[in-house]
Amino acid sequence: MKIISVVGARPNFMKVAPIIAAIKEHNEKLLLGSRNGQSRSAQEMIEHVLVHTGQHYDELMSDVFFSDLGLPKPDIHLGVGSGSHAVQTAEVMKRFEAVLLQERRDVVIVVGDVNSTLACALVAAKISLDCATVRPLIAHIEAGLRSLDRSMPEEHNRVLTDHLSDILFVTEESGLENLRREGIPRDRVHFVGNTMIDSLLAFKEKADASSVLDTLRLRNQARESGRAGPAIPYALLTIHRPSNVDDRDTFLTILKGLQPLGSKFPIIFVAHPRTRERIKEFGFDHFFGANLAKDARNNNSELSNPIQLIPPLGYLDFLCLMKNAKLIVTDSGGIQEETTCLGIPCVTVRENTERPVTMKNGTNVIGGVTKDGIQKAIDRQLRRKTRSSMPAKWDGQAGPRILEVILRYFRKRQKH
């Protein structure tokens, strides 16, 4: 069997890593079995091709995740880069079509809700219309999530990708209901858990070796021993959605909503490249302190400004910062899930979430995008006593479950 997995943007890499690990384990078992004289079909050996569309291309938005997660280098890089939604989606489609026409393939795996996800699912769905080739099965990992907010580009990507897919892998129970409501046949839908959480659980301990807390001077030194002490209380911030940072007034309101938090703890703002561009463009630099890493090098312990702006971080450094934070304020989807798994209070700076389990079971509250809403949500979370419970099937086994289902579909297709 030949599987093509597609990644494009930062949140895709950790979702695909557990699938690649499961494929490796599957092949190793088959090899071992054949050495021991068991004759499992050679067709069950999986040839895997990893395609990177290049939607994210910076070292810090892409390359570092491959080394942190131990991912193999992409077999094929489409080098698409940035552009408007139409241009980016169209470029991925043009270049991915050439790949699909060249490569014999049985299954195309797409993950999440970024433009690359939709673009490649659409190409795979239509590939047989222009040529005499059988179209591959399309498997969507993280299917069924819905914010019901069509002003988000991701919501279009989610809905359309789900309706193009043959096998839909759902991370939380709300996804089952959403897909049922949209008329997707139940036998295509599989509730398997969350591959992003597989990665989190697999790398949680390793993240402790990160030096990011020391670099950012977020640790108390244990005086007598000179050894590294526990983290000081700090908050972590990520804001990157166009609806939050591209409009000057909205971005300003969010920054004002964060000011009372900044008077309690240092806030570490790990900023997406576009967010940094907007900060410059809108003249918001005065909201932020100097880079703490630079301060540390200059041995300057006086932090003049409570919001410290730093560049994007790799997977392990960011995981270490999440694990040790007192509170996380974000507009990311994935971070709502990761904080739920880690039990760290999270305030989502949006009006909705497509991941309701993070509110029901987890540590997430919706803060909205008004100054009052954000401040109230932060206060509530700082007083929070209740613990979270882990959502169903977020147990680190989603990758193997997904592969088992894909193999079942493949065997069934072989019979016909």
Looking at 30, 103, 153, 284, which residue binds ligand UD1 (CB under 6 A)?
153
Q: Which is nearer to ligand UD1, 11 or 262 (CB)?
A: 11
Tokens, residue 189: 């839908």
CB of 375 to ligand UD1, least distance (A): 25
Instruction: Please give the single-letter amino acid code of residue 244.
Output: N
For residue 414, CA distances in Å to 110, 124, 241 come to 22, 19, 43
Does position 276 bind ligand UD1 by CB under 6 A? Answer: no
Does position 115 bind ligand UD1 by CB under 6 A? Answer: yes
Q: Which is nearer to ligand UD1, 118 or 316 (CB)?
A: 118
Distant-in-sequence, close-in-space partners of 136: CB < 8 Å, separation ≥ 6: 4, 100, 105, 106, 107, 108, 124, 127
Q: At what angle do helices 371-382 and 248-264 cross, to 10 degrees?
A: 30
Looking at 2, 27, 44, 57, which residue binds ligand UD1 (CB under 6 A)?
57
Does position 15 bind ligand UD1 by CB under 6 A? Answer: no
Looking at 22, 71, 114, 145, which residue binds ligand UD1 (CB under 6 A)?
114
Q: Which is nearer to ligand UD1, 88 or 339 (CB)?
A: 88
CB of 350 to ligand UD1, least distance (A): 12
Does position 82 bind ligand UD1 by CB under 6 A? Answer: yes
Distant-in-sequence, close-in-space partners of 411: CB < 8 Å, separation ≥ 6: none
Q: Which stretch binds ligand UD1 (CB under 6 A): 51-59, 165-173, 256-264, 289-297?
A: 51-59
Looking at 274, 360, 371, 413, which residue binds ligand UD1 (CB under 6 A)?
274
Residue the block writes with tokens 């989610």: 158
Does position 158 bind ligand UD1 by CB under 6 A? Answer: no
Burial of 227 (0-12, 13-18, 19+ CB in 10 A): exposed
Distant-in-sequence, close-in-space partners of 17: CB < 8 Å, separation ≥ 6: 69, 70, 71, 195, 198, 199, 202
Does position 90 bind ligand UD1 by CB under 6 A? Answer: no
3-state class (DSSP) for residue 142: strand
Q: Is 240 a catalytic residue?
A: yes
Applying CB under 6 A, the residues found at the interface with ligand UD1 are 9-11, 55-58, 61, 82, 88, 113-115, 153-154, 240, 272-274
